[in-house]
Amino acid sequence: MSDGFSARPPPEGRLLRSRGRVENPSHIMIREATEADVPLILQFIRDLADYERLADRVVATEEMLRRTLFGSPRFAEVLIAEEDGAPAGFALFFHNYSTFLGQPGIYLEDLFVREEMRGRGIGKGLLARLARIARERGCGRVEWAVLDWNAPSIAFYRSIGAIGLDDWMIMRLTGDALDTLGSSS
């Protein structure tokens, strides 16, 4: 497809080492989500929120996801990972821009792999696909946030070459503060 997505599984017989086990990635497929995946995407979001101890903050609905992910304009994109045809995880991302680089970038909002399917190369596969998309689209970087207590994820991200930006703090404007500022002159 012209948008950088493809459903090409890795070559048959290629083996990866993952946490001491040999895994055959030919059983893992990463594909672009379709509108029919909205219920699955919402379930992944809820599963991620449970893992991050933030389940009470999920207010997204299927209709909201349908409108923002598959409407016009599309505000974000989603990759779905499947292992042997079973949904295994997802990555939700959107473009940002770096004035310093003078290039677009990709912000990875969510990356989640079901607990029982971790350690099989699925997360790395999702990130590798996202890196290929970034390169195909002329992006200068891929960025994301991780909770500071999430040691397994931090270790995984470092293992693939990601670095933490300790000198930056994420700021957020939401709810009443967003409304108040948005209505001021």
Model pLDDT for residues 110-161, shown as the tens digit of each residue: 999 999 999 999 999 999 999 999 999 999 999 999 999 999 999 999 999 9
Tens of pLDDT, residues 16-73: 333 433 344 568 999 999 999 999 999 999 999 999 999 999 999 999 999 999 999 9
Domains of the chain: 16-182 (3.40.630.30)
> What is the arithmetic mean of pLDDT over 83-90?
96
Catalytically active residues are 157
**Residue 26: predicted pLDDT:** 60
- Can you tell me whether residue 184 is helix, strand or coil? coil
How far CA 78 is from CA of 5, 18, 75, 144, in Å, comes to 10, 24, 10, 15
Instruction: Kindly report the pTM of this predicted structure.
Output: 0.84
